[in-house]
């Protein structure tokens, strides 16, 4: 947050540039201030920025604000990337576009970010066992991702396996007792 405050201060002092504005938008997004991120990315876009992250950042911020049509429009103009594919995958789900959903699904790779995206879509479509399988596979290779146990527990809960859900959640709580 200190960097965010510093960049905002520089902007107000007339010392901002495209790079610092990009950082401000990035920081706002990752701090969960999606409205601020949206405004920053939109200002950059409207100011004629050609930086490849501007349109994708705008698309992601729009998505988190529930502005799916605007998100889709910005994503379509963004250069190809794995993040663009994941965002488009989620937008296809939101729009109920099965053909596009399957197309973006086929473009997913065997990397953690893509697999987490796939698992979340399985969860949203009530395919809980498929989501569990993906989460468990990720956990086998990435034991440090303990929070995934919370998602596994949620899936088991949705399948009415309440005891299993509590056991899996206990694994996470044992490492994060303050939660």
pLDDT at 7 over 70: no
Measured in degrees and rounded to the nearest 5, phi and psi for residue 172 equal: -70, -45
pLDDT grade for 2, boundaries at 50, 70 and 90: low
List pLDDT tens digits, range 129-142.
999 999 999 999 99
Per-residue pLDDT tens over the stretch 47-94: 999 998 999 999 999 999 999 999 999 999 999 999 999 999 999 999
> Per-residue confidence at 8, pLDDT binned at 50, 70, 90?
low
């Amino acid at each position: 947050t200190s960097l965010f405050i510093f960049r905002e201060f520089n902007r107000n002092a007339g010392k901002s540039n495209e790079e610092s504005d990009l950082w401000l938008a990035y920081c706002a997004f990752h701090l969960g201030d999606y409205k601020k991120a949206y405004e920053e990315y939109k200002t950059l876009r409207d100011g004629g920025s050609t930086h490849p992250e501007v349109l994708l950042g705008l698309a992601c911020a729009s998505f988190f604000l529930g502005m799916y049509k605007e998100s889709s429009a910005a994503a379509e103009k963004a250069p190809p990337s794995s993040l663009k594919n994941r965002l488009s995958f989620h937008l296809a789900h939101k729009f109920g576009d099965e053909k596009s959903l399957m197309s973006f699904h086929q473009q997913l790779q065997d990397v953690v970010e893509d697999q987490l995206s796939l698992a979340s879509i399985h969860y949203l479509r009530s395919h809980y066992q498929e989501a569990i399988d993906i989460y468990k596979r990720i956990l086998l290779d990435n034991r440090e991702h303990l929070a995934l146990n919370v998602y596994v527990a949620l899936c088991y809960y949705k399948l009415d396996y309440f005891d299993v859900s509590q056991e899996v959640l206990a694994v996470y709580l044992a490492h994060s007792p303050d939660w």
